[in-house]
Structure formats: C-alpha cells, structure tokens
Amino acid sequence: MHGASRQNYTGRSESPALRGHNECVRRGGYVPIEDYAVIGDGRTAALVARDGSIDWLCLPNFDSSSVFGAIVDAERGGAFELQPSIPFTASRRYLPRTNVLETIFTTDAGAVRVVDAMTLPDERLPPLRELARSIEGISGTVPMRWRCAPRFDYGRARPEIGWRVGVPVAAWRGEAIAVANWDAGTPTWTDGAVEARWDVRAGARSLLALATAYGDPLVLPGRAAVLSRLESTIAFWDRWSSARGYEGEWADLVLRSALVLKMMIFAPSGASVAAPTTSLPEEIGGERNWDYRFCWVRDSSFMVDALLRLGCYDEARSLFWWFIQATAFTAPKVDVLYRLDGGVGVPEREVDLAGYRGSRPVRVGNNAVRQQQHDIYGALFESAWLYSSGHHALDADTGALLGGIADHVCDIWRGPDSGIWEVRNGPFHFTHSKAMCWVALDRAARLAAAGEMPARHAARWRREADAVRAYIEGECWSDDLGSYTRVAGSRDVDASLLMLPLVDYADGRDARIRGTVDAIDRRLREGDVVYRYRAADGVPGGEGCFLNCSFWLVSALARCGRLDDAAALMERVAARANDVGLYAEEIDPASGAFLGNFPQALVHLALIDAATSFSPSAGRRSERKAS
C-alpha cells in the first residue's frame, strides 16, 4: 500500500533521509510545509517534497481535483515518489532564474541529481500537461526507486490501470495519465501504484515523464521530445527572468517572488490563483483550512502593481482584462473571488480526506464568496488606476462599468461587512474596509478627472470620499490607543491598518499613521512576524502570524521614514523563507514552521512591495499616474 511505504519515514531511525540541515523526516507520512518546493506551468502546479515525493498535483488545472494529494492525506491522497532506496541527504535549489527544481541526493554510495519541471508546450505534439523528472548520476552508483500512485478525484476514485505500448497508464472517466520512463527500471503495477527500482551510475541519465490527458487521447511522448521541452522550459524561464528590471536590494527574493507569481497566473485566462493548494492548516489539527485555488479581487491591485513594477506589462494587461470580464457579470456588485475561468460561484464542500497531519476538514470551494467585503472595491479601483497609469487607456465600456461600481460604493460604504480577513462572526464596520471604499471613490474621481471614466457622477464620488474620511477620522480613531482601530468604536488594532499608508489614504509621516504603525508594532508583532489581530473572528482555533502582515509592516515603516527599522525587519522576515525562497501564508513565530496554504501569492506580493519600498522611485501609488 502507498500509505504503508510512507509510514516508513515516520521516525529518524526508519527514514531513508539522513540528518542535519538537509534532513527530510516524515512524521505520520507528512513533511513540514516548508520542506516543499513548487513547480508549475501556468496552468497547474505540483508540490515537490525535499525527499523527492510529489505530494500535490491537480489536473488539468489549479482548481481541478487532485491526482496526487498525499499532502492532505498521506495514505489515500496519492503521490509520485522518486528517491534513493538507501539513506540520503537532499539539498535543492531552483535552477538559476527558473521555476525548474534541482535536488541533489547524496548517499554513502554516491550522489544523484534530479531535475523536476512542469514543461511548457512546444510544437512537437506535447501532452495536455507534462511533468518531467530527469535523473543524472553524479558519482558512484546509487540505488534509486520511484513509485507513482495516482488517486483521481481527491483520492476517491480508483483508476483503471494498464499498459499502452509498454507504458503504464491510469485512467478515470475522461482523465488519464501515463508514466513514460527511460532507463529507470522495469515498472510493475502493485496495489494501484506503478513502481520500479534501478541503479544510477555516474554519468548515466534516466528520465521519467508524467503525461496527462483530459477528454482527449493520451499523447505518449518520446524521450527526445521530453528532453527538448525540458531544455526549452529552462530557457523560457531564464529569458523571462532576464526581462525583469528590478536591481535593488533583496533582488534574489524579488525575482523568486516574481517567478512564483508568474507561475501562479492561470495562463488560459490571465487570472491569478491565491495559492495552488487547499486546506493546508492555519493551525496543526485545527479546522481553519481553506481552499485558495481561486482569484481574489483583493489581490488584484497588489498583483497589477507588482507586475507593472517588474515590467510585466502583458501579464498586467491580461489580468486587468480578466477582472473587467469577470466582474462585468456581477456588476455593480463585485464578488470577493472568482473562478479562474472567470465564472462565479465556488460552493464550499468537504471532501473525505484525512487532512494535513490530521487537520480536518479538507475543503473544496470557498464560501467567502458569499460575504460582503467592501475593501475589494478599493482593490478593483486601485487596479484600474495603476493599469491606466501603466500607459494603458481604459475603453469606454470599462469606464462605464467602473462608473456603475463607483455609484454602488457610494450606496454601500455606510454598511458593515466581513472585512479583509473574511471573519465569520460579523459583519462589522471595519476601518480598513472604509478606507478602501475611500480608495475606490478617490481613484474613481481621479480617473474621471483624467478622462478615463465618465465624469457625470464625479462630484458625488468626491463628496462621498470626503464623507468616508470624516467617518474614519471621527469613529475609527482611539485617543487611548493613539491608533486607528480595527472596527469603529473598538479598542483593538488590526494589521490591515498597515495598508492605510500603502494605499495613500494618508502620508506615512502623518501623526495618526505613525501612531497606528507603532501600535501594531507593539501589540501584534511577535519577534519579527506579525499577527493579523487578536480578536475573536467566529472560527474556532488559533493561527500563526500572517507573513504578508510582516511585509506590510516593513512597507509601512519605510513609508513612515523609519528606514533603518524597516530594513532590519526586512532582513529578518526575508530570512524566514524556506530554502528555495518560498513562503506559506503563515508562520509559527516560535518554531518557524510554515502554516496555511503554500506558496501564497499575497505574501510574495507583499514582499515585492516591501523590497521596493526602499527605492527612491517607489513613490506614492496615487501619484504614479503617467503624464
């Protein structure tokens, strides 16, 4: 059984992985979240554990059901393992300026290099999706093993297994995968998994390729074609990285963030997935487990801003077009999130999986879509403002669409909502939501003044923006705290308030902003990381520190002029990345263990904003309008 073999890794004495910095220990079949790296092709992504096991892959798209889901159920989820069959250590990196992962397995018998990639299509009849695993002997002779246990439909379906011209194939309904292999042993099917063992000598090269089909015939690739696509995939990512213009501090982390963000843009539509995983827990054993495989409007302004800063003009335009098309269906109301294909409605359900280290339930879909979250209107208008600032004009229909949405914001901003953190015990009058409504109306008025939107209601937008500001300054400030408050009239602070100087609600040197940043620094910061709030939110259990909040604190400190404090904090938070430069949504401040979905776009977007905050050219967002 697949689960039985993974149980062998539960203890150090039983694990084939050796000890030390590069150890990879499975407990109960699970590795720490920070032990994963991600590979992807802009349509789906796979999580590769340090021990060479691919424990998460949804096919054919990010939001499809999983074929490998061992990360949320080590026994029944399915995985594609590849590793030495004797004790080893593993070190890994991304090949420079690529999303292609290199893992070096070192054993007493020698060393082996494995290169993993989701290949990009070429003109040589590629499979619908292809995952290539290249194995090269570096020294000695290393006994290796691989085992592919596909479990379609989140582990619920047992596939039909068999052979096609000597290639192992598994199929379920319209889906099928083939595991082509060259010089990688003689595979056999056992208990629904195909596996093989073989020896890799120095200088020898073996190859595995997972080819997939969905509703069409399987393409069984040839060895030369797979190797060619692997090389062209490496070349593409290198070219793409070369075109990124950022040369400031923390350039390596910024480039890694840019690469992972590009990987998480769903290329068929231009939408950006918040994270490629579902239900990695915010607390081990807890129930704060959510599906992030959708596109949040909230992330849009950060994404458009980051893409423009990094010179990704085509990607920024594609994302903005997607938003206009997706929101057109619900306008003037804007949903919190949309499916990657632009559709609305992502009903939440629980699937019968054990959960990461027993963290249940495992959810598919996200009921946050039903919430009222007023801050998303600010995000949408900030996106439009930044997009038009990037030398793209808004067309008349888009301007009219946005005009209707701005009118809607005038109608709703006085009401309560569930806020940026999607609390389930609300609604409340969140200060951050009010501020983002101000952003929406302010940007609408500016766009109208610039001739990008109809100006017929511009006076109303400006008038209502002033009313929002008066409400915030009157109802959402506490003299006792010396800070803006989480909700009107409360005595709590909230890390979302760090956004106020970032979206130019007020200048970073404003006394109230400085007081708010100080209060958050004092009350929510734990070491170098930041809790989002300490109030109840209607969901049982605890959580870690949100890493995006830590980067927001860096950005806010920089905008307050506290550049030394900001730089010191940036160094420490940057050091919290895993060994390949990736971040999950949250972190346990004590152990440094990652929590939540991984990798998370919002954290990497916040990192880019923080790193570029030190640049003199960073400037205020609202003043970045092209002349």
Partner 1 sequence: MIGSAIAGGFVGTLLMTTIMRGASEFGLTRIDLALLLGTTVTDNRRKARAVGYVFHFLIGLGFALAYGGFFAIVGRSGWLLGALLGALQAIFTGTVLVNVLLPVVHPRIGTPETAANEIALLEPPGFLMLNYGRRSFLVVLAAHIVYGAVVGWVVRV
Mask for 172-201, x = binds partner 1 (CB under 8 A): ------------------------------
Helices within 38-136 (DSSP H only) = none
100 within 8 A of 234, measured Cβ to Cβ: yes
Percent of the chain as helix, strand, coil, to the nearest 5? 35, 25, 45
Q: Does 69 bind partner 1 (CB under 8 A)?
A: no
Contact pick of 106, 318, 496, 578 for partner 1 (by CB under 8 A): 318
- Told to check if 396 binds partner 1 by CB under 8 A, we report yes
**Contacting residue, 397, 466, 473, 507, with partner 1 by CB under 8 A:** 397
By beta-carbon proximity to partner 1, the closer residue of 43 and 514 is 43
Assess 322 for contact with partner 1 (CB under 8 A).
yes
Helix axes 251-263, 601-612, angle to 10 degrees: 150
Q: Which of residues 223, 317, 512, 625 is near partner 1 by CB under 8 A?
A: 317
Task: Dig out the tokens for 605 from the structure.
Answer: 């977007």
| 80 lies in the binding site for partner 1 (CB under 8 A) | no
Residues 222-251: x where in contact with partner 1 by CB under 8 A, - otherwise, as a string? --------------x---------------
Rounded Cα distance between 52 and 56, Å, is 12
Residues near 33 by beta carbon (within 8 Å), at least 6 away in sequence: 280, 356, 584, 593, 594, 595, 596, 598
Nearer to partner 1, 397 or 507 (CB): 397
* Span interacting with partner 1, options 145-153, 188-196, 326-334, 614-622, rule CB under 8 A: 326-334
- In this structure, the number of other CB atoms found within 10 A of the CB of residue 152 comes to 23
Interaction with partner 1 in 398-417: which residues (CB under 8 A)? 398
Least separation, in Å, of the C-beta of 553 and partner 1? 32
Q: Binding marks (x or -) toward partner 1, 110..139, rule CB under 8 A?
A: ----------xx----x-x-----------
Q: Is 614 in the site for partner 1 (CB under 8 A)?
A: no
Residue 413: Cβ-neighbour burial (10 angstroms; 0-12, 13-18, 19+)? buried
Query: Omega before 427 cis (within 30°)?
Result: yes
**Could you tell me how many residues of this chain bind partner 1 (CB under 8 A)?**
37
Q: Which two tokens mark 549?
A: 């909040």
- Inter-residue contact 374 to 429 (CB < 8 Å): no
DSSP single-letter state for residue 451:
T
Measure the CA–CA gap between 69 and 71, rounded to whole angstroms. Answer: 5
CA neighbor of 64 nearest in space, from 46, 37, 76 = 46
Rounded to whole angstroms, the Cα distance separating 207 from 293 reads: 30
CA atoms within 13 A on the CB side of 329: 13
The stretch near partner 1 (CB under 8 A) out of 286-294, 336-344, 553-561, 568-576 is 336-344
Rounded Cα distance, 451 and 399, in Å:
9
Residue 294 beta carbon to partner 1: minimum distance, rounded to whole angstroms: 14
Q: How many CB atoms are located within 10 Å of the residue 227 CB?
A: 18
Give the residue carrying structure tokens 């090949």. Answer: 95
8 A C-beta contact, residue 586 and residue 547: yes
Structure tokens at 375: 């801050």
Residue in 315, 382, 543, 585 binding partner 1, rule: CB under 8 A? 315
**Alpha helix segments (H runs only) across 271-413:** 298-309, 313-328, 375-389, 396-412
Nearer to partner 1, 182 or 236 (CB): 236
269 binding partner 1? (CB under 8 A): yes
Taking residues 451 to 490 in sequence order and writing x for each that binds partner 1 by CB under 8 A, - otherwise, the string is ----------------------------------------
Residue 155 interacting with partner 1 (CB under 8 A): no
Non-local CB neighbours of 151 within 8 Å, separated by 6+ positions = 66, 67, 68, 69, 76, 77, 78, 157, 158, 159, 192
**Position among 11, 162, 245, 268 found at the interface with partner 1 (CB under 8 A):** 268
Window contacting partner 1 (CB under 8 A); options: 31-39, 83-91, 324-332, 519-527: 324-332
CB of 267 to partner 1, least distance (A): 5
Residue whose token pair is 């400030």: 477
**Could you say whether residue 347 binds partner 1 (CB under 8 A)?**
no
- Closest to partner 1 by CB, 32 or 390: 390
**Contact range with partner 1 by CB under 8 A, out of 104-112, 267-275, 409-417, 425-433:** 267-275
262 binds partner 1 (CB under 8 A): yes
Q: Does 263 bind partner 1 (CB under 8 A)?
A: yes
- Which is closer to partner 1, CB of 44 or CB of 550? 44
**Residues lying near partner 1 in the complex (CB under 8 A):** 40-43, 60, 120-121, 126, 128, 214, 236, 262-263, 265, 267-271, 314-315, 317-318, 321-322, 325-326, 328-330, 341-343, 395-398
